[in-house]
Structure 1
Amino acid sequence: MFSYKNKIAVITGGASGIGKSATLAFARQGASVHVIEVNDANVAALKEEMAKEGLSVEAHIGDVSDQQKMISIFNGIGKLDVLVNNAGVSHIGKVTTTTTADFDRLFNVNVKGVYNCLYAAIPLMQEGGGGAILNLCSIAAWVGLADRFAYSMTKGAVYAMTISAAKDYLADKIRVNSISPARVHTPFVDGFLAKNYAGREAEMFEKLAKSQPIGRMAKPDEIANLMVYLCSDEASFITGTDYPIDGGFLTLNT
Structure 2
Amino acid sequence: MYRLEGRHAIVTGAARGIGRAIAERLIAEGCTVSLWDVDGDEVALAANEIAGSAGKVHFAEVDVSDRQAVASALAATRTAWNAGPDILVNNAGIGQVASILDSEPKDFDRTIAVNIGGTYNCCYEVAPLMRDAGGGLIINIASWFGKSGRPMSMAYCASKFAIIGMTQSMALDLSSHGIRVNAVCPGTITDTQMREQADAAGALKGVPPAQEREHLIPLGRLGKPRDIANVVAFLISDEADYMTGQSVNVTGGLWMN
TM superposition score normalised by structure 1? 0.91
Once the two structures are TM-superposed, the CA of residue 156 in structure 1 deviates from its matched residue by 0.5
Residue type of the partner of 1:221? R
TM superposition score normalised by structure 2? 0.90
Within 5 Å, give how 1:179-190 maps onto structure 2. Answer: 179-188=184-193, 189-190=195-196
Structure 2 SS opposite 1:83: strand
Q: 2:174 matched to 1:140?
A: no
CA distance in 2, matches of 1:57, 1:3: 18
CA distance in 2, matches of 1:204, 1:88: 20
CA distance in 2, matches of 1:81, 1:172: 13
The worse-fitting range, judged by mean Cα deviation, of 68-77 and 82-91 is 68-77
Cα RMSD after superposing both structures: 2.1
Once the two structures are TM-superposed, the CA of residue 211 in structure 1 deviates from its matched residue by 3.0
CA distance in 2, matches of 1:145, 1:89: 16
Within 5 Å, give how 1:8-87 maps onto structure 2. Answer: 8-51=8-51, 54=53, 56-76=56-76, 77=78, 78-87=83-92
CA distance in 2, matches of 1:123, 1:187: 32
- Indicate if the aligned counterparts of 1:223 and 1:245 stay in contact, CA closer than 8 A: yes
CA distance in 1, matches of 2:10, 2:211: 34
The count of corresponding residues between Structure 1 and Structure 2 is 249
Once the two structures are TM-superposed, the CA of residue 194 in structure 1 deviates from its matched residue by 4.8
Residue type of the partner of 1:4? L
Q: 2:224 matched to 1:219?
A: yes
Once the two structures are TM-superposed, the CA of residue 237 in structure 1 deviates from its matched residue by 0.8
The worse-fitting range, judged by mean Cα deviation, of 186-195 and 118-127 is 186-195
1:191-222 deviations in whole A, cap 9, x for unaligned?
44356549xxxx84431322322222101011
CA distance in 1, matches of 2:256, 2:43: 37
- Indicate if the aligned counterparts of 1:80 and 1:128 stay in contact, CA closer than 8 A: no
Residue type of the partner of 1:19? G
What residue in structure 1 maps to residue 175 of structure 2?
170
Residue type of the partner of 2:230? N
Once the two structures are TM-superposed, the CA of residue 251 in structure 1 deviates from its matched residue by 3.1
Once the two structures are TM-superposed, the CA of residue 106 in structure 1 deviates from its matched residue by 0.4
Structure 1 SS opposite 2:180: strand
CA distance in 2, matches of 1:194, 1:157: 26
CA distance in 2, matches of 1:167, 1:215: 36
CA distance in 1, matches of 2:97, 2:120: 23
Structure 1 residues 48 and 155 mapped into 2: Cα distance closer, same or farther (>3 Å)?
same
Within 5 Å, give how 1:149-168 maps onto structure 2. Answer: 149-168=154-173
CA distance in 1, matches of 2:256, 2:230: 22
CA distance in 2, matches of 1:195, 1:116: 29
Runs of 4 or more above 6 Å deviation: none
CA distance in 1, matches of 2:246, 2:43: 31
Residue type of the partner of 1:207? E
Residue type of the partner of 2:72? S
Structure 1 SS opposite 2:181: strand
Residue type of the partner of 1:142? K
What residue in structure 2 maps to residue 232 of structure 1?
237
Structure 1 residues 154 and 195 mapped into 2: Cα distance closer, same or farther (>3 Å)?
closer
Structure 1 residues 67 and 204 mapped into 2: Cα distance closer, same or farther (>3 Å)?
closer
- Indicate if the aligned counterparts of 1:81 and 1:130 stay in contact, CA closer than 8 A: yes
CA distance in 2, matches of 1:156, 1:59: 29
- Indicate if the aligned counterparts of 1:15 and 1:23 stay in contact, CA closer than 8 A: no
Residue type of the partner of 1:23? A
- Indicate if the aligned counterparts of 1:89 and 1:106 stay in contact, CA closer than 8 A: yes
